[in-house]
Copies of this chain bind each other. A is one copy, B any other.
Amino acid sequence: MRRLKSEIPDCVNCLNKGNSIICSLSTDSKSTLTKGKGENFFKKGQVIFYEGNHVNGLFCVFDGKVKLSKMGESGKEQIVRFAKTGDILGYRSLLSNDSYKATATAMEDSWVCVISKEQFNKAMVNDSNLAVSILRLLSNDLKNAEHQLVNLSQKSVLERMSEAIILLDNNFGREEDGLTLNVNLTRSELADIAGTTTETAIRTLAQLKEEGTIDLGEKKIRIIDLKNLIRIAGLQD
């Protein structure tokens, strides 16, 4: 997984073919974006950018997993979104020329490309497909945020934790065994997704294991009964 910088190609020849919205742009646009592009390695746990910091570019995950979180006044973290290989980060702040509105942290060792603000703006002007793609991303993010908003205010921790696991499943998929979630999270991070405390998260996961809905080994979660998770989360219809 750990790569040499020289292994990372420019946007035109990027390996994340199907995954990234950048990959589906015209060669022209990709050439524009790749100019002055930087590649950065982030160790697991390292912060890529902080909420409130001023914007210096568009981030694109070349390889890795990133969490986006916001800090409440009390200092508690709430995870608002994830980004995985091929996903882009920071577009909203870039558009409004605002500071970053969430903190991005590498969830595992990750390579992240940084596209300069100037080149991004150039590409936006010349390629309406890029604008449309960004519009779609925003639109989707908003849909998810509003869904999560209703969840947090109305569902129990058990329901929210079930939905959090489903979210992780949809986002990161499973390992070869077809059961184990392909992502490593601490109990505290799971709590930060479901919007609860570490202790309650632990007890809730134990309950789901008890019922045979999930299995917990090492640090990973295995989904045994997805149907039941969906039922508990109240997503069946």
A177-205 vs B, CB cutoff 8 Å, 1 = contact: the mask equals: 00000000000000000010000000000
> CB distance A142 to B138 under 8 Å?
yes
Interface readout for A36-78 with B: 1 if CB under 8 Å, 0 if not?
0000000000000000000000000000000000101110101
Taking CB atoms, residues of chain B closer than 8 Å to A148 are 149
- Asked if A150 CB lies within 8 Å of chain B CBs, one says yes
Decide: A136 and B96 in contact? CB cutoff 8 A.
yes
A14 touches B (CB below 8 Å)? no
* Beta-carbon contact of B152 and A95 below 8 Å: no
Q: Give the shortest distance, in Å, between A150 (CB) and chain B (any CB).
A: 5
Note all chain B residues with C-beta closer than 8 A to A131: 128, 131, 135
In which size bucket is the chain A interface? Answer: 35 or more
Q: Which A107-163 residues have C-beta < 8 A from chain B?
A: 128, 131, 134-136, 138-143, 145-155
Inter-subunit contact B149/A76 (CB<8 Å): no
* Cβ contacts under 8 Å, A154 to chain B: 72-74, 76, 78, 195
CB proximity of A151 to chain B, nearest CB, Å: 8
Contact A101 B134 (CB under 8 A): no
Q: Counting chain B CB atoms within 10 Å of each CB, which of A74, A151, A153 scores highest?
A: A153
Which residues of A approach B to under 8 Å, CB–CB? 70, 72-74, 76, 78, 80, 92, 95-96, 101-102, 128, 131, 134-136, 138-143, 145-155, 195, 234
A139 touches B95 (CB 8 A): yes
- The answer to whether B101 touches A143, judged by C-beta atoms less than 8 angstroms apart, is yes
Q: Is the CB of A135 within 8 A of B78?
A: no
Determine how close the nearest CB of chain B comes to the CB of A128; give it in whole angstroms: 8
A10 to chain B, nearest CB (A): 27
Q: List residues of chain B with CB within 8 A of the CB of A150.
A: 70, 72, 78, 80
Extra pairs beyond A70-B147, A73-B155, A142-B142 (13, CB < 8 Å): A70-B150, A72-B150, A72-B154, A72-B155, A78-B149, A92-B142, A95-B135, A95-B139, A131-B131, A138-B138, A145-B149, A152-B153, A153-B195
